[in-house]
């Protein structure tokens, strides 16, 4: 059978427009001293994303800030979290930097957003979703840390808002809902109410107990592990019920990780 000309043209176009294989992600250096000079310079010009934490730690924030906000003064805070917040305060508008090529700058923008809505947690969270869903792991971490103080200040409203995030199609958004409400958390103040009354977090946790994403499952397990340090009986009872009601590999993985310090 002879090929129709239009079929030949269509197939030829498909061949010429076929996507090229994605480039392999850059493997970050294992120490700050091993970050190549050209990578460090690209990071400090705001042209590159970091490949890992070591690359983020090697950035001179003052150099990067001068490329983003030339009139900004030198930073005075010590510690990376405080310096992220301070740098964010020098941005005129968080929206202008929400899609910046630098993940560090997008992290600053998340802090600038948090500063713009310190007492309106619902408005803050709805705007913060763009950072919660960011493709870069670092931006997602800065996003929840930036939002955490406002959430602590109006926890009940935040929990109601975040309960809908637990059912979002994006695993990064679902993970944010769990991670930002961890009772103990990392590099942040504890949420004392959730240490005393962990049941307040169930509207967020229940939809995630068999989540298909390991990224989400690990956060849920760490949430529960936080509570084992103050109310292990509550965690044991909850995880036993989950295993009865949702006896899946995903639930088993969460339970095993959640109880790791009790075994």
* CB-CB contact of 17 with 43 (8 Å): no
Q: What is the SS3 assignment for 202?
A: helix
Task: In whole angstroms, give the CA distance from residue 93 to residue 245.
Answer: 47
Average pLDDT, the chain: 91
CATH topology of domain 158-185+201-263: 1.25.40
Tokens of 69: 């906000």
pLDDT at 20: 38
pLDDT-derived band at 19, boundaries 50, 70, 90? very low
pLDDT-derived band at 55, boundaries 50, 70, 90? very high
**Contacts of 245 by beta carbon, 8 Å cutoff, 6+ apart:** none
Q: Model confidence over 114-147: pLDDT tens digits?
A: 999 999 999 999 999 999 999 999 999 999 999 9
**Contacts of 235 by beta carbon, 8 Å cutoff, 6+ apart:** 198, 224, 225, 227, 228, 258, 259, 262
- Cα–chain-centroid distance for residue 49? 15
pLDDT at 18: 37
Taking the domains of the chain in order of start, what are their residue ranges?
A: 35-153, 158-185+201-263
pLDDT at 24: 64
Tallying the residues shown for the chain, one arrives at: 263
Mean pLDDT of 51-68: 96
For tokens 């990067």, name the residue. Answer: 64
Q: Model confidence over 160-206: pLDDT tens digits?
A: 999 999 999 999 999 999 999 999 988 899 999 999 999 999 999 99
Query: Which of 133, 137, 141 has the alpha carbon at shortest distance from 25?
Result: 137
Residue 64 pLDDT more than 70? yes
Instruction: Spell out where 143-241 has E strands.
Output: none
pTM above 0.85, yes or no: yes
Residue 8 pLDDT more than 90? no
* CB-CB contact of 174 with 165 (8 Å): yes
CA atoms within 13 A on the CB side of 31: 2
Question: For the chain, what percent of residues have pLDDT higher than 70?
Answer: 90
* CB-CB contact of 257 with 222 (8 Å): yes
Q: Model confidence over 156-169: pLDDT tens digits?
A: 999 999 999 999 99
Residue 14 pLDDT more than 90? no
- Cα–chain-centroid distance for residue 58? 20
Mean pLDDT of 29-50: 96
């Amino acid at each position: 059978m002879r090929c129709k000309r239009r079929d030949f043209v269509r197939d030829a176009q498909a061949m010429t427009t076929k996507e090229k294989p994605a480039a392999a992600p850059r493997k970050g250096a294992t120490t700050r001293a091993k970050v190549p000079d050209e990578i460090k310079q690209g990071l400090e010009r705001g042209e590159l994303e970091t490949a890992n934490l070591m690359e983020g730690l090697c950035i001179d924030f003052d150099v990067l800030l001068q490329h983003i906000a030339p009139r900004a003064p030198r930073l005075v805070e010590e510690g990376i979290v405080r310096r992220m917040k301070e740098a964010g305060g020098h941005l005129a508008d968080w929206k202008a930097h929400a899609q910046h090529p630098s993940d560090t700058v997008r992290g600053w923008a998340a802090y600038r957003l948090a500063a713009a809505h310190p007492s309106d947690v619902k408005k803050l969270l709805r705007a913060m979703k763009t950072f919660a869903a960011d493709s870069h792991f670092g931006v997602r971490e800065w996003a929840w840390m930036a939002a955490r103080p406002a959430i602590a200040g109006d926890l009940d409203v935040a929990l109601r808002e975040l309960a809908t995030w637990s059912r979002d199609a994006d695993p990064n958004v679902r993970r944010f809902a769990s991670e930002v409400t961890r009772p103990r958390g990392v590099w942040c103040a504890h949420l004392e109410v959730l240490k005393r009354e962990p049941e307040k977090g169930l509207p967020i946790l229940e939809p995630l107990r068999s989540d298909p994403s390991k990224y989400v499952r690990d956060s849920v397990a760490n949430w529960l592990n936080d509570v084992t340090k103050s109310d292990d009986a509550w965690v044991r009872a909850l995880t036993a019920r989950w295993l009865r009601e949702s006896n899946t590999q995903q639930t088993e993985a969460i339970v095993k990780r959640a109880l790791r310090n009790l075994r």
